[in-house]
Amino acid sequence: MGARNLMSHAIVVDDLPPSVAEFVRGEGRARGLMDPLPAVTHGLRTEEETMNRESRGGPTSDRFVVEMLLTPELLIVAHRQSDDAETDPGARVRFHRLDQVGLVDAGSEKAATARLAMPAKSIPVTSTPLGGAKRATYQLPIAIDPDVQRFRDALTAAVEQARV
């Protein structure tokens, strides 16, 4: 793999491409949820582009987009490789109930180990997504940006509130 460009910035629901918004709604309906988008309080988009060196035909690039949307009850994570979810067969959405989400405490020994493994490039979230069979830890990619810390703070507060 060659160069990697990672950018994160805050978003609102209206920033979602229409096909992505409909994809989130449809996947939510499939899991018995009402439209979760009107309840979104915070959003963060991370775009990652990697340049790969090819031996023949020149370099190629891959683009990945992850949107994290926070509601008072859910963390919604949408992954795709293009701006149009309809044209990406690998597009997926996971819905995590906040009262079941585990976040690594930034001051803990476990967090220090996680930072060594994934230094400031992800938000580790442990959860069983709706419709999922087992609990897993997901490394949500991020770049270093003030919007990331605001989203992380909002997510931490929402998870704590959901457990009360």
Task: Decide if 93 contacts 27 (C-beta within 8 A).
Answer: yes
Q: Which of the residue ranges 110-114, 128-132, 141-145 has the most confident prediction, judged by mean pLDDT?
A: 128-132
Contacts of 139 (CB under 8 A, 6+ apart): 118, 121, 122, 123, 124
* pTM for this prediction: 0.82
The neighbouring-strand residues paired with 24 are none
- The reported pLDDT for the residue numbered 58 is 66
Other Cβ atoms closer than 10 A to 22: 14
Residues 60-95: tens digit of each pLDDT: 777 889 999 999 999 999 998 866 656 677 889 999
Distance CA 118, CA 139 (A): 8
Interatomic CA distance for residues 60 and 132, integer angstroms? 34
Taking CB atoms within 8 Å and a gap of at least 24, the contacts of 62-65 are 64/141
Q: What is the distance between the alpha carbons of residues 66 and 50, in angstroms, rounded to a whole number?
A: 14
Structural domain that includes position 50: 4-162
Predicted confidence band of residue 116 (pLDDT cuts 50, 70, 90): very low
Q: What does the pLDDT read at residue 140?
A: 84
> pLDDT value at position 10?
95
The Cα–Cα gap between 61 and 69 comes to: 26
- pLDDT, one tens digit per residue, over 26-46 is 999 999 999 999 999 999 999
How confident is the model at residue 85, as a pLDDT?
58
Q: What is the pLDDT of residue 114?
A: 46
Q: Return the percentage of the chain with pLDDT > 70, whole number.
A: 79
CA distance 138 to 112: 17
Q: What's 99's DSSP letter?
A: G
For the segment 99-108, the average pLDDT, to the nearest whole number, is 73
Task: Report which DSSP code applies to 157.
Answer: H
How many domains are there within the chain?
A: 1
pLDDT at 62: 77
CATH code of residue 12 = 2.30.29
